[in-house]
Structure 1
Amino acid sequence: MSTTTLRLPPELRDRISRLAEESGTTAHSFMLEAIAERVTSEELRREFLTEGNDRLADMLENGLGIEWADMRDYLGQRAAGRDPATPKVKRWRE
């Protein structure tokens, strides 16, 4: 494992130390976990954006998609715990 030096403002260092102690871990472990969580979050965010951009490109290329009103109703029903039918893909441009 390589070593990296972080220069922390005293207030942040103190906050980390306090939270690490309350969590029953070391400040080092606390910071590693925080960094790992942030890296994972950013990777997922980028995957999400890439997938969305790819889907938009496909939609623009083939002119097929799901109308927003249909998707909104579908998602609302899913959020309410129901199992609605998947909305139909339609040609939205010629």
Structure 2
Amino acid sequence: MSTTTIRIEDDLKARVAAAAERAGKTAHAFILDAIAQTVEQVELDEQFHRVADERWAKVLATGKTVPWDDAKAYLEARARGERPRKPVARKLGR
């Protein structure tokens, strides 16, 4: 395990210490958790954008997409606990 030194303003250091105490952790553990959560969020964001880019490329390549009204009706039915058929992608503009 390596050591990294960070410089933080006194006000932020005090806020970290207070938050860590409220969370029942040491400031060190609190900071490590915050770093880990931030890294995980960045990785999830990257994955989300990669999937979105792939799906957009597919829409552009095929010209097919699911109309909003169909997608909305599907999601509303799922939210009610129903098991509707997935909407079918169609050419844009039709």
* TM-score (normalised: structure 2): 0.87
Q: Which deviates further from its counterpart, 67-76 or 27-36?
A: 67-76
2:66 maps to 1:66:
yes
- Could you say which residue in structure 2 is the equivalent of 1:30? 30
Distance 2:81 2:18 in 1: 40
Q: Which runs of 5+ in 2 are unaligned?
A: none
Determine if the alignment matches structure 1 residue 40 to structure 2 residue 40.
yes
Count of residues paired in the alignment: 93
Q: Measure how far apart 1:13 and its partner are.
A: 0.5
Q: Which residue of 1 aligns with 2:57?
A: 57
What TM-score comes out, normalization by structure 1 length?
0.87
Distance of 1:18 and 1:52 partners within structure 2 = 39
Q: For 2:21, give the aligned amino acid.
A: E
Counterparts of 2:61 and 2:21 in 1: how far apart (Å)? 55
Segments of 5+ residues of structure 1 without an aligned counterpart are none
Q: Which amino acid aligns with 2:84?
A: P
* Residue-by-residue CA offset, 1:24-80 (whole Å, 9 max, x unaligned): 211000000001001101110111011001111011101121112211222233334
**Superposition RMSD on alpha carbons, in Å?**
1.5
